[in-house]
Structure 1
Amino acid sequence: MSQSEDAATPREEVLRLDNVWKAFGDTEVLRGVDLTVASHQVVALIGASGSGKSTLLRTINLLERVDDGQVFLRGTDISRPQTRPDVIRARIGMVFQQFNLFPHLTVLDNVTLASRRVFGVSRSTAEQKARQLLDQVGLADRAGAYPDRLSGGQQQRVAIVRAIATDPELLLLDEITSALDPELVGEVLELVRTLAARGTTIVMATHEMAFARDVANHVVFLDSGVIAEQGPPAQLFGAPRETRTRDFLSRFTGLAG
């Protein structure tokens, strides 16, 4: 069942983008993007390859600096030049298309590294929490394994656990199923579904349209670096207002109204 947007219950603003522009050379990838994400909201970014979804996530996490506009995290402008990216990234969890696990570390060490090194949590406390999280995703018995001994789906679940182990204020997911074999996609999406149900604030770029429709409570359609349309999934998938949205969704059977 799709989560609905509840306008009657105001939620704290976690993230806001105001007129964000980003270019690489002469190519404008983001062109005046405005977006607000509230606490416990799940926002799905959809659009064709090259529409700006991944770049948008990377600007939020300060992996790319914006050329113009502002990015606010809980009311603080984090796009200012003097902002320390490492301090901001400690507050945001990000999972990439590729798993990016440290190959020389065990699953347990991968998951606990940030807690111990960045936040100064004791090894025993960090490992206790990590084992609880791994148990919740069915990987308790793989804590001592190295990444190359895991399937792609298992590695991506470990990457997600690593991202949430520090209780981030915001979780960014960048096409996290695109590198997986089709039979492994379901187990990763089920974990995201569980996180969403628990109230995790998530912004995810995805090409899984049915998943975006069923799990997100706000969908943003990016087209050539511009938000062409956004709204609750029932409206955007069921009765899109813009021709560009209808044309994009027409590629996916049964999604466009």
Structure 2
Amino acid sequence: MTDPVPDGGPVLRLEAVRKTFGDGQVVLRDVGLSVPEHSVTALIGASGSGKSTLLRCVNLLEPIDDGAVFLDGAEITDPRVDEDAVRRRIGVVFQAYNLFPHLTVLENVTLAPRRVHGVPRAEAEERALELLDRLGLAAKAGAYPDRLSGGQQQRVAIVRALATGPRLLLLDEITAALDPELVGEVLAVVRDLKERGMTMLLATHEMGFAREVADQVCFLDGGVVLEQGPPERVFGAPTEERTRRFLSRVVASGRLAR
């Protein structure tokens, strides 16, 4: 079941996206969804349901087999599209921090703006320091990643994704590798980004957080968007039996309070 998305033109739109891996395994089946500007869409579902693959297809890290992906109305899955130009408009944060260990925090954050976008060093560093300060990391600008906690490293990874001024931010299970006590500080950053109007598509196992921060929730099962709508309906009154079974297990595990 699909409910209308919030008001505002879609920054991202997927139409009948299909992805099959080499062994014939269908990972995404005719996926369609729309992410309006200044909104947060949360992808939920069991491991292996296709959430991470969907994000990789949006960022063109995985080619799709059928369908189309549009960014601001332009098809980005057209074979003639400059993939690097598309990726410069999309920020991505993965489970692993992927920080360069031989570079300081400031150098990690300014690398892409300087090398990929051609931003002068002084301008890139000024922007980076503003973002680091906003996320409570100004004092760590000269530190190396191995001197940071997991939560701090993930926040740096988010700053790095924001430093290029992305049109869309993709977050792939960004708390999965964190100790429980560090999860809160990273989720607080996402809340702040939402308040500032960042358009986000995120895959998460944090059901309570998805219910709190998302404008719409998409439940994936076997590569299909089985149900989507506002969080109060998807979590409070799901229409699909498979969604109800999934959420009941989540509640039983203590990861979502009724």
TM range (shorter): over 0.9
Task: Give the counterpart of 2:36 among 15, 35, 38.
Answer: 38
Is residue 69 from structure 1 mapped to residue 67 from structure 2 by the alignment? yes
Report the equivalent of 2:83.
Answer: 85
Report the equivalent of 1:12.
Answer: 9
Q: Distance in 2 between matches of 1:6 and 1:62?
A: 24
Q: Distance in 1 between matches of 2:179 and 2:91?
A: 24
Q: Distance in 1 between matches of 2:107 and 2:217?
A: 35
Q: CA RMSD in A?
A: 1.4
Stretch deviating more after TM superposition (237-246 or 77-86)? 77-86
Amino acid at match of 2:195: A
Task: Give the counterpart of 1:100 among 98, 101, 118.
Answer: 98
Amino acid at match of 1:133: L
Residues 168-208 of structure 1, C-alpha deviations (whole Å, 9 max, x = no match): 00000000000111111110000011101111000000000
Amino acid at match of 1:18: E
With over 3 angstroms needed to count, the CA separation of the structure-2 counterparts of 1:105 and 1:50, relative to structure 1, is same
User: Quick check: 1:250–1:256 contact (8 Å CA) kept in 2?
Assistant: no
Structure 1 length as normaliser, TM-score? 0.95
Q: Distance in 1 between matches of 2:50 and 2:225?
A: 10
Report the equivalent of 1:157.
Answer: 155
Q: Distance in 1 between matches of 2:9 and 2:19?
A: 27
Matches within 5 A, 1:243-254: 243-253=241-251
Q: Distance in 1 between matches of 2:83 and 2:62?
A: 10
With over 3 angstroms needed to count, the CA separation of the structure-2 counterparts of 1:169 and 1:181, relative to structure 1, is same
Amino acid at match of 2:19: K
Matches within 5 A, 1:168-247: 168-247=166-245
With over 3 angstroms needed to count, the CA separation of the structure-2 counterparts of 1:182 and 1:61, relative to structure 1, is same
Residues 222-241 of structure 1, C-alpha deviations (whole Å, 9 max, x = no match): 00000110000000001111
Q: Distance in 2 between matches of 1:185 and 1:69?
A: 35
User: Quick check: 2:217–2:229 contact (8 Å CA) kept in 1?
Assistant: yes
Query: Where does the alignment leave 5 or more consecutive residues of structure 1 unmatched?
Result: none
User: Quick check: 1:171–1:202 contact (8 Å CA) kept in 2?
Assistant: yes
Residues 141-173 of structure 1, C-alpha deviations (whole Å, 9 max, x = no match): 110111111111000000000001111000000
Amino acid at match of 2:221: D
SS in 2 for 1:21: strand
Give how far 1:119 is off: 1.5
Amino acid at match of 1:68: D
Report the equivalent of 2:20.
Answer: 23
Query: Where does the alignment leave 5 or more consecutive residues of structure 2 unmatched?
Result: none
Amino acid at match of 1:72: F
Identity of aligned residues (%): 66
Amino acid at match of 1:12: G
Structure 2 length as normaliser, TM-score? 0.94
